[in-house]
Chain A
Amino acid sequence: MDGKLASFSPARDVQVRVLVIEDNAFIALDLQTQLEDLGCNVIGTAVTATQALEVARRTMPDLAFVDLQLADGSRGQDAASALRTELNVACIILSGSLQSVTDEERETIRPFAMLSKPVLPHELSSVVSRYQDGHR
């Protein structure tokens, strides 16, 4: 399917496969819509850290958008750390409290970007094209 679509969008040689980890339904849906408009393939969403890992193991995404405070009290930092160490998935952290990520966690996660909520559309598009440029 990717190959077929790619042939229709010459600007994007390969679609970026994205996992959205966000427990707020509106934000998750908006993010998914915006990312698809930007040419990404959103291959899954998750609302807890555990679920994020399950989905990621199954779908092997290139990139994950990670909110920090997830449903059931689990932490986006833990999800992102596991994604990085276990599956080497790049993460973009997206939160209203970026300062809660410790230096140690940042070292483990090596986030591709950290965006403060509320995220403006142009910030999202610029970080996505930066990723696409690096992985063409």
Chain B
Amino acid sequence: METSIDMGVLFDSLPTAQMVFRPDLHVVAANRRYCEMLGIDRSDLVGKRVFEAFPANPDDPQADAEEELQASADLVVATGEAQEMPLRQHDLMLKDGQYAVRYWRVLNSPVFADRDDPAKVTHIIHTAEDITASILGDRVHEAKRRAAMRGADLAYFEWCPATQIVSKTPQLDTMFGFAEEEQSKPIQPFLDRVHPDDLPGLEAEMERVSRTVGADLHHDYRVVWPDGTTRWLIVRGESIRNPDTDELLVVGMLLDVTHIKESEARLHEAISVRDLLIAEVNHRVKNSLQMVTSILSLEAKGAEDESARASLSAATARVQAIAAIHASLYEDNDLQTVRLDNHVGRLVEHLRASLPATDDAPEIVVDIEPLRLSIDKAVTLSLAINELVTNSFKHASWPDEGGAVTVELRQNGHEQIVLEVSDNGTGGADGLLFEEIASSGLGARLIRGMAAQLRGTIEEERGNGWKTRILFPG
């Protein structure tokens, strides 16, 4: 069985980086891992003093590594025991002459190679571990935390429910209106400044989180400073078990969101002022329309002359057609459009009641799809319906049974709406045909004007009964 192994080969093959030097810091050996780690040829190292091979970075003010190494070596020689060197930075000169930041964990262990004096430390094994990555990782972490703490609107804390002590960054004191302090404090003075309305909720939340490891803390509340200032805070955190003491800790952040809450409040106020203004304008419009219809109807009733009364009644009917829309406005949340089936139904009710109710008067039949239309268009459409239905009533005669004026409104394919008012009456008032009335009457001119306003076209059929169609984009 092969037992002999070259100790030199063994040393060279060790997975840890090791270098052997004499107490006077002259290098006698270095294994492959060590040379690789430092990026240096063995021949540039062996026989030289340690720091000839590794000159200190002149930019590093703490580059007194040689003294530290000598002190450590002296201690190893004096005690005969291994020494761990303080964690330190010694930057490494790269081939291009630049320095790279390196952090080292170093153990110096004694070698007793003098057979005559076995207690004498002849050499020192220098085991080096490059911990740059983990050190810089911690540094990055710290830097991130510091960056997060910057400014007074964010604080970090750890609260121990068992002791009721809170350790925190000084910003936390500021948030509660205290002078900034570094040290830990009892939590009670902070709780004393929580808004009385918010305290029960916060305490319940703290209680809940401190019952279960891993529970999330998430709460908004107000604090009131002694001068009356109110600040809005958000706390976010979680409970963990402290690995050192096994106690439950609640760790988290506090965020001052007063400015956000204040803008929110201002926005709400602006919206309610706007709503109030809309309601007020709406009220005035409705009241004014009521006043106009009232004046017209009083005038109509007061008119002595028959034709003046007829004219005023027609004007009243036109204003009422507009009024009918306004009374049904703003009744749902949609302020821009009107549901036509509801609205036209109301208008036709009005026409039924206001047009002559003689025995042979026609019925008004309504067939309206539940379309929505902008208020402007709905007003125009109302007036058109008012004129067309009123015109139909001017027929001289109606069938004995089933005399009807039909109002239809439907979507016609894409984005086109059709209003159709048709009847089955015969003969115009005083024997005039529609064409003759239409060419002279205000009603017909209004119908043309309203069709134009709707950007629509008019189709008319006249025979036994009249049919008028207005096609317009919806």
Chain A positions within 8 Å of B, measured between CB atoms, are 24, 26-27, 29-31, 33-34, 69, 95-97, 99-100, 116-123, 125
Contact = CB atoms under 8 A, between A and B. Distances in A.
Overall SS of chain B's interface: helix
Nearest to B291: A26
Contacts of B290: 24, 27, 96, 117-119
B298 A96 contact: no
In the complex, the 6 A-B pairs of residues with the closest C-beta atoms, listed nearest first: A96-B286, A122-B353, A30-B294, A118-B323, A118-B290, A117-B290
B70 interface: no
Contact of B279 (A30, A97, A116, A122): A97
Interface string B327-348: 1100100000000000000100
Contact of B353 (A97, A119, A121): A121
B268 interface: no
Contact of A30 (B282, B289, B297): B297
Contact of B285 (A27, A33, A96, A122): A96
A28 to B, nearest CB: 8
B80 to A, nearest CB: 93
B298 A33 contact: yes
10 contacts: A26-B294, A30-B297, A30-B298, A96-B284, A96-B285, A97-B282, A117-B290, A118-B324, A120-B327, A120-B353
Nearest to A96: B286
B293 interface: yes
Interface string B283-319: 1111101110111011001000000000000000000
A31 B297 CA distance: 10
B352 interface: yes
Given A31-B294, A117-B290, A123-B349, 4 more contacts: A30-B294, A116-B328, A120-B323, A123-B350
B242 interface: no
A133 to B, nearest CB: 17
Given A26-B294, A29-B294, A29-B298, A118 B354 contact: no
Given A31-B294, A33-B301, A117 B353 contact: no
B72 interface: no
B320 interface: yes
Most buried by A among B279, B294, B320, B328: B294
Contacts of B297: 30, 33-34, 121
A24 B291 contact: yes
A31 to B, nearest CB: 7
B32 interface: no
B294 A96 contact: no
A122 B354 CA distance: 7
Contacts of B287: 24, 27, 96, 117
B326 interface: yes
A9 to B, nearest CB: 19
Contacts of A125: 353
Contacts of B285: 96
A132 to B, nearest CB: 16
Nearest to B350: A120
Contacts of A29: 294, 298
A117 B289 contact: yes
A69 B346 CA distance: 25
Contacts of B350: 120-123
Nearest to B284: A96
B454 to A, nearest CB: 23
Contacts of A123: 349-350
Contacts of B323: 118, 120
Contacts of B279: 97, 99-100
Contacts of B289: 117-118
Interface in B265-279: 279
A24 B420 CA distance: 39
B242 to A, nearest CB: 55
Given A96-B282, A125-B353, A118 B298 contact: no
A123 B323 CA distance: 13
B282 A122 contact: no
B152 to A, nearest CB: 44
A27 B349 contact: no
Contacts of A99: 279
Nearest to B331: A116
A100 B298 CA distance: 29
Contacts of A27: 287, 290-291, 294
A29 B279 CA distance: 26
Given A96-B282, A97-B283, A116-B286, A121 B294 contact: no
Interface string B404-432: 00000000000000000000000000000
A34 B354 CA distance: 13
B451 to A, nearest CB: 25
A125 B353 CA distance: 9
B298 A121 contact: no
Nearest to A115: B327
Interface string B351-385: 01110000000000000000000000000000000
A117 B295 contact: no
Contacts of A118: 286, 289-290, 293, 320, 323-324, 326-327
B15 to A, nearest CB: 82
A36 to B, nearest CB: 11
Given A26-B291, A27-B294, A30-B297, A119 B354 contact: no
A34 B301 CA distance: 10
